[in-house]
Structure formats: C-alpha cells, structure tokens
A and B are shown apart, each in its own frame.
Chain A
Amino acid sequence: MLSTRLLTKRYGSLTAVEDLDLEVRAGELFGFLGPNGAGKTTTIKMLVGLLRPTSGNAKVAGIDIAAEPEKAKALIGYVPDAATLYDKLSAREFLEFSGDLYHVERKLRDRRIAALLKLFDLQERGDDFLSGYSRGMRQKVSLAAALLHDPQVLFLDEPTVGLDPQSARQMKDILQDFCREGKTVFFSTHILEIAERMCTRLAIINHGRLVAMGSLQDLRHMVGQDGQSLEQIFLELTGSREDDVSAVLRGLES
C-alpha cells in the first residue's frame, strides 16, 4: 500500500532524511518512531506531497506521489502535528470545505460530516468558529477532515498530542476500526506505550536514517533481548542511554 525507495531530503548541507526504504502493507497500523529531530515529520510531509524529495521516491497504492501528486493525494488523509485551521470558519464549514477539496459528492459529504461530528462529540460546537476550539478539539476536527473522503492511507503526525485520555482512547479505536477495513494507518508518535499496544509493525528512525523496522517481536530479536519493552528497545537503538542522562542531572546538581 505504501512504499519508499531511497527516499532522501536535504536542506543545503543538512540531511533530514537519508535513503529511507519502507514497506507498509494494506490493513497495517504502522508506527513511525524516532527522537526529536530524527526526520519523522519530514518523512510524513514527503509521503503526503507537502515536501518534494531531494532523491528517491514514495508510492501510495503504486502511485508515485511526486509524479502523480493529485492521483495519489486523493487516496491519502493527513493529520499534521499542530493542525493550523482556518480560525474564522466553523468546524462544519471547514469540513464542508475539505469535502469539496477532495471531490466528495455534496449529499454524501453532508451525511459524513454529520456522522463524524457525532463520532467526535462535536455536534454541539460544530457551528462555532475554530478560533474558540482547544488544541484537542482542533485535532479532532483535523482527523474528521482527513477521514471525510474515505482515504486508503491515513497519515498522522503525533495524533495524540493535546488529546485527553478519553479522546486518545477514542482515536485509538477509530484507527483500529479503520485498519480492520483493510486500510492503512501510518503514524508518528513519542508515546511508546501507545505504539506498543496499537501497532502491527514499527519503524525507528534516527538522524534521518532507518535503524529498525518490523513487528515488536522482530525488534526484540534485533536487539537480542526477548521480553524487553518498546521503550528499552527504542533507547537501545537510538543511543539514548539512561546512565548518560543521570550523569548530566548529577552535573546540574553540583
């Protein structure tokens, strides 16, 4: 459903993502992990067509996102990390706008909007301007907009940031239902606990390079210690060592 081949993004002398090879199958809930500045958001932005790769390619359902962006984007839903929405539109108006941009037929669009507002508990506030929404509510509107055109692949960048535990759980259920329909979710997160419980497969990126990819079991084999938590595996693979942190903290105290 989703594949990248030697995907690279450079900003001048800085290499944000280098030679990334990914393969995500239909129906998978794929977690994309990495420390801050590892290249997660850059990768997702290349996969949804917001950034052009310096080299390499990315395909969604066999369609090259750089060569046929409009065709590929019709299959994609995207939720950015801090979704900037139009403040002076209401949630309903924003969803209508979004539906029109994705060529959703009017009657179907209005039916889906009503259902999505209900699903995200936004019916009451659906006609209020987005400027009055909290970060979590904006995140919900953003996810509703991404689901509106019934995409085949859903990309989410830090989707649980700003959500209360109830909403985070609701989002998790929605994403799992989405995958059960044979569709694909590709999401980045810092919350390893969520990734551990939700994802069918994972990839870990560090300094723009892929360091590991596979199921949780595969990753455990990779580090050679069965029974390890994803957090331990992550710290092992990205080189963030607890004793280093302790040393620094001791240094601050003195």
Chain B
Amino acid sequence: MASKARPGAGALDGLALGLLLWRVQLQMFINQTIRSRNAGRIAGTIAGAVVILLAWSWEGFVTWLGVEASHRMQVHVDSVHLLSLAFLAYTGVLVFSSLVFSLNTLLLNPDLELLLAAPRSVESVLASRMVVQVLRLFLLSLLFTAPALVLLGVVNQTPLIPLAFAVLFLLYPVFVVVIISLMSLLLVRIIPVGRGREVLTLFGIALAIGINLANFLLNPALRDPGFARHPGVAPSLPDVPAASSAWLPSGWAGRSAAAILSGDWVTAGQWLLLLLAASAAIFAAGSVLNGRLYMAGWIQAVPPRRRHAAARVRRSKGALPLLSPVMAAVVIKDWRMRTRDLAQLVRFIMPVVFLFIIFGLRFPRELGAVRSLGGGPPAAMIGLIPAWILLFSLSISLGLSAVSLEGKSIWVYVASPNSTMRFLQAKCWSTALPTASLVALAALAAEIIIRPGWLWAVTAVVLAVAEAIAVTTLMVGIGAVFARFDWTDARRMMHPVGVFIGMGLFSIISVASALLLVISMALAAVTRFPLFTTWLAAMTIAVGGAIAVAALGILFGNQHLRGLEVG
C-alpha cells in the first residue's frame, strides 16, 4: 500500500481530498441545521447566528473604542513583539485544538477506514485530515477576529487589512497542525484499541486541572486574601523575548501583521511569502512522514485489554438492601458503567477536584471571617455553600444524563417486562445515592470546620441531603423528557434545552430555599417565635417544595418515556 508516486504528489492529492472532505462537512452541517426540517434545530441555528452577530457587534464596538483611545493617547509599544507574543499564545490554542482533533481523527472517527479503503495513498488521506484541520482553525480565527479586522480596515482606509490577515491565519496553523499530526501518529501506537476516548478525557482533565491550579497559584488577584488585588502588584503579561525571533514562525507572523497594520505592504509580503514557503515545505514533508509513520505501525498493534483476575473476583452479587432485584440491577449496572468509563467517572471526580481547588485551598484563609459570625443559622448556611456547588454540578451531570446513559442499549430495558416508572425510580436511586452521599460529606466537613452549633449543623446537613435527593430526582425527570439515546459520549448525552431548564430550576429552588431560611430568621426576630421553630418550618417548606417539583419532573419524564419507540 506504500505510495510510489513522485514526492509531493501525496500532499497535492491530500489538498484536493481535504477540500472534498471539507465540502462534505459543510454539506452535513447545512443538512443538520438549515435543511433539517426540524423546528428546534432551525431555531437553534438562528439563535446561534444571532449570538454571533451580537458578539461581533460588541467586538466591533470595543475595537472602535480602542482605536479612538489610541488616537487620543499616544502609547509607545513594540508592535512587532506584541503581535509576535499574541501569535505565540495563539500557538498554544492551536496545539491543544490540533492534538484533540488529530487523536479524535485517528482513534474515534469511523470514516478513516472508509478513506483508506479508497484508491488514495495513505499520505494523501492523512494530508487531507491536516487540510481539514487547518481550514477549521482558519475559520475559527476569522470567527473571533473578523469584526475587529474589518473595522481596522475601515478606520485605516485600507480594505486589504482583513484579507491580508485572512492569508496569515490560513498559513500560520500549518506548521503546528503538521507537527501535532506527526506526534499523534507516534502517540496512538501506544494506546490500546477502544481506549481513545479515555485518553482524550485524561488529556482534558489534566489540562483543566493544570489551568485552574496555575490560575489559583499564579493569579495575583487570587493569591491575596479576600480576593483583593494587592496594590503593589500591577497586572502584567508574561513576556517571552524569543516570541519575536526572526527564526520562529511567531516572529514572522508578528512582523507580517505589524507591517500589514502600518501599511508597509512590501515587508508584509516578504514575511508572508516566507511563511507560505515554510508552510508548503513542512506540509509536503509532513505528508510523507505521516504516511511512513502510519505504515510503520498502527494502533491495532496494541491489543485490547483483558480484565485482571482480581477484577473478576470482586464482582458484586447484584443485590442491594431495600431495592427490588430490577431496581438493584439497574443501580448496579449504572454504577459499573459510570465507574468503568473514564468519561463518566470524570463526572464524579471533576466537581470534587474543582471544589478542592476553589474551596479547599482557600478555606483556611476565609475560615476566620466565617467563624466571626458566631454560631447559629447564618454560619450553618454559609457552610452549605461548597455542598451546594457540588450538588449543582453532580445533579446536573449525573441526573440529566441518567436516562440517556442507556444509549442505544435502551432496547434491553424496553423489551423487558418492566414499567417505565420503575425504570425512572431505579435511575433516581442510581443518581441520588452517590449525589446525596457526596453532598452530605461536603456539608458535614464544612459544618465540622465552621462549628455553628451542633443543632444548626445537623439541620443544615439534613437540609442538604433532602434537597440533594429532591433536586437529583428532578434532574432525572428532566433528563427523561430530553433523553438522547444516540450518544455514547458522556459530554453529548445531555440535551442543551434540558441543561438550560435544569439549571434554571436549580437556581429557582436554591434562591427560594435561601430566601425561606432568611425569612425564618427575620420572622423569629420580629415575632419572638423560637428561631429553631421558624427555621424548621422554613426547611420543611423548602424541602417540600423541592420534592413537589421533583415529583412533577418524574411524572413528565415518565409520560415521555411511555411514548418512547425504539425504532
């Protein structure tokens, strides 16, 4: 299958194939949106376009303000270095995006086999993927910068500015995409079959935690107590002197961009030509190397993992106290699916990790301020904040995806002699149990540290657990109404409208509960009723209200599932 064509032929054929693939993707996008004949999708497309237009208007306005300010206030900056720095930062985005795209393409996209089966060389198929990625990044760049560039062209009376920048945006990502594509081909050789999604998820988690931890540790605004900016710490950009080096693409792009903005077209053209020549060369070389790497070994070299003997012994007997065998079966099956799939497991772990980063690292500094409130309901309520954030995250991610978790395997349950209501009850158990447990732990830990008085602490924890059960149940109901059985990817299981409604209802329930508790304290002060009595009454109303809303959610969800047809 190795290509024996003349050098560069693979790259040229890849270019043509890439454009063909791009056209197909565009066609699919149009079919799924404007031509879908689906009112919801068409409305979503229009809403998306309106949001983009609004963002563009805002960007245009801000750019105009910047231009006006620069006319009134002379600021001397090294524009070449500043723009080179911007391109270097953009390289970071390109690296991340390209890595995700390349790994996705090689490990998850099913159409690679289809393309490789066609009478095209491996080089051209892999080159076509790079072309598609460059085009995606090019459009993404334009999406974010188009209004600013057009406005700069109008203000400077140089309509060529947006066009010249478009050329720059088209050429600049090439070298990143090629290098990342080569790296991905090396990387996938050590990833076993079927573990691509896990690897991508791990990569995402590491990046997300890294960014948040770095932000927490380095951001001066977050380093100081009370979120106050230290007067002596001026906001500054980290400088990388090498960014504008004439030996680096960021330096070429920076010089070209600065020349375009100053109207020096000869200099701009020279640097653009250099970028074009380097991009073409690296693309041609990368295409050949990609082909060689692919032929040298592919992911199939690593066999799928066999389970360890220990894992087989640890098997649960499939029974849970208080639950019927059917419900226990669903709960245990869900637990296994959530904990064995890394993408699902993240749904448990990430909120806890972020909670630790946000609160765990900051809590000791804020503890004094909370304790100064003394014992009683206000301190107990403040202690519930971490648990509430955890509840928000878990109830949305676990509750809303509970029904969709079945995916295409939903037929197994639908074909069995069990009602949809029983199915929903099982789903409530499978999500409420872990959510309520983690929320209880978070609330308990916070109340123990704050020490608002044992009575208030106990009632606060009880409130958190009761609301956790009610809210998660509600989310399961909403998730059933907006169930998606076509997705196996955890991130895509939740319907955006379902998420929107879920978040809205969570906010309403939270605000209403907090208001009720504040009113109970005010009422006790005014009427001289014992505070504990009014507090308990407020808690009962808050939990009762949440349960009533949750019951409604489950009823709607059941109604929807009863009409479900597995076609």
Contact = CB atoms under 8 A, between A and B. Distances in A.
- Size range of the chain A interface in the assembly: 35 or more
A19 B304 CA distance: 48
A103 interface: yes
A102 interface: yes
B412 A98 contact: yes
Interface stretch (B87-95, B168-176, B312-320, B469-477): B312-320
B113 interface: no
Given A51-B567, A101-B412, A128 B337 contact: no
A15 interface: no
Contact of A89 (B304, B317, B337, B407): B337
Contacts of A27: none
A50 B317 CA distance: 30
Contacts of B340: 88, 129
B417 A103 contact: yes
Nearest to A105: B325
Given A96-B318, A97-B329, A103-B325, A88 B566 contact: no
A85 B409 contact: yes
B336 interface: yes
Interface in B512-564: none
Q: Give the interface centre of A49, A86, A92 by most chain B CB atoms within 10 Å.
A: A86
B341 interface: yes
Nearest to A98: B412
Contacts of A50: 411, 414-415, 565-567
Interface stretch (A69-77, A172-180, A194-202, A236-244): A69-77
B170 to A, nearest CB: 40
Contact of B414 (A49, A71, A89, A127): A49
B505 interface: no
A101 B336 contact: no
B69 interface: no
A45 B414 CA distance: 11
A101 B418 CA distance: 7
Contact of B409 (A48, A84, A129): A84
B229 to A, nearest CB: 47
- Size range of the chain B interface in the assembly: 35 or more
Contacts of A76: 415
A131 B325 contact: no
B417 A84 contact: no
A83 to B, nearest CB: 8
B417 to A, nearest CB: 4
A118 interface: no
B417 A100 contact: no
Contacts of B418: 70, 101
B306 interface: yes
A98 B417 CA distance: 11
B566 A128 contact: no
Contacts of B325: 100, 103, 106
A190 B307 CA distance: 36
Contacts of A51: 565-567
Contacts of B307: 90, 127-129
Interface in A130-175: 131-132, 145
Contacts of A80: 411
A101 B413 contact: yes
Interface in A72-126: 72-74, 76, 78, 80, 84-90, 92-93, 96-98, 100-103, 106
Nearest to B306: A128
Given A50-B411, A73-B416, A90-B307, A100 B566 contact: no
Given A50-B566, A51-B567, A106 B409 contact: no
Contacts of A84: 407-409, 411
Contacts of B326: 100-101, 103
B417 A71 contact: yes
A13 B306 CA distance: 49
Contacts of B336: 88-89, 93
A106 B413 contact: no
A52 interface: yes
B409 A131 contact: no
B226 interface: no
Given A50-B566, A88-B341, A106-B325, 7 more contacts: A50-B567, A86-B333, A93-B333, A96-B318, A98-B416, A106-B318, A129-B307
17 contacts: A70-B419, A73-B415, A74-B417, A78-B411, A86-B337, A86-B409, A86-B412, A90-B307, A92-B315, A93-B315, A93-B336, A100-B318, A100-B325, A100-B329, A101-B326, A103-B417, A145-B412
Interface of A: 42, 45, 48-52, 69-74, 76, 78, 80, 84-90, 92-93, 96-98, 100-103, 106, 127-129, 131-132, 145
- Give 7 closest A-B pairs by Cβ, nearest first: A100-B329, A84-B408, A74-B417, A101-B416, A73-B417, A127-B312, A88-B340
